[in-house]
Structure 1
Amino acid sequence: MTTRRAPAKQKVDARMPRASVSFPPELHDTLERIAKQKKVSVAWVVREAAEQYVASQWPLFGAASGGGQRHG
């Protein structure tokens, strides 16, 4: 049996709003594969995707929403 070490957890900012999102099973499976490949959490993948979406739709708001904070 191989023991895998969990990645270090990021500090959670108490001011950071939380959201609960439901995904179709196929999309969630894809998000999990991406997260595993990048060695990050599904939450990180979703935040990154949201930042990229906002930056592409409203470029002037991308930096204000925390865009540009690239990790991993």
Structure 2
Amino acid sequence: MAAKAKHVTKSTGEPKMPRTSVSFPPELYATLERIAKEKKVSVAWVVREAAEKYVGDQWPLFVGKGQGG
């Protein structure tokens, strides 16, 4: 499998963050919204944090990849 080329934003020169769409059961989404409100962040931030923790638990050597770590 070939690696995809990194796309860079014109304004910052930083790599673009890939986007995706995810559907959640209503109860789970309500919980994510509640967590986001308590932390004063977006639901997207909560989901990214959860995904990073999940990947770190599954593949410990992957922790910090792509985030300057």
Whether the TM-score (by the shorter chain) exceeds 0.5 is yes
Q: Which residue of 2 aligns with 1:20?
A: 21
- 1:27–1:67 Cα change, 3 Å: farther
Q: Which residue of 2 aligns with 1:8?
A: none
CA distance in 2: counterparts of 1:54 and 1:67, whole angstroms = 16
Tell me, yes or no, if structure 1 residue 33 matches structure 2 residue 43.
no
The question of whether the paired residues in 2 share the 8 Å contact of 1:35 and 1:42 is answered with yes
Cα deviation, residue 40, structure 1: 0.2
Moved over 6 A (4+): none
Cα deviation, residue 66, structure 1: 3.1
RMSD: 1.9
CA distance in 2: counterparts of 1:22 and 1:48, whole angstroms = 17
Cα deviation, residue 36, structure 1: 0.2
Task: Count residues with an aligned counterpart.
Answer: 56
Cα deviation, residue 62, structure 1: 1.4
The question of whether the paired residues in 2 share the 8 Å contact of 1:55 and 1:67 is answered with no
Higher-Rg member (1/2): 2
TM-score, reference length from structure 1:
0.70
Cα deviation, residue 63, structure 1: 1.4
Q: Which has the higher contact order (CA 8 A, sep 6+)?
A: 1
CA distance in 2: counterparts of 1:36 and 1:57, whole angstroms = 28
CA distance in 1: counterparts of 2:68 and 2:40, whole angstroms = 20
The question of whether the paired residues in 2 share the 8 Å contact of 1:35 and 1:41 is answered with yes
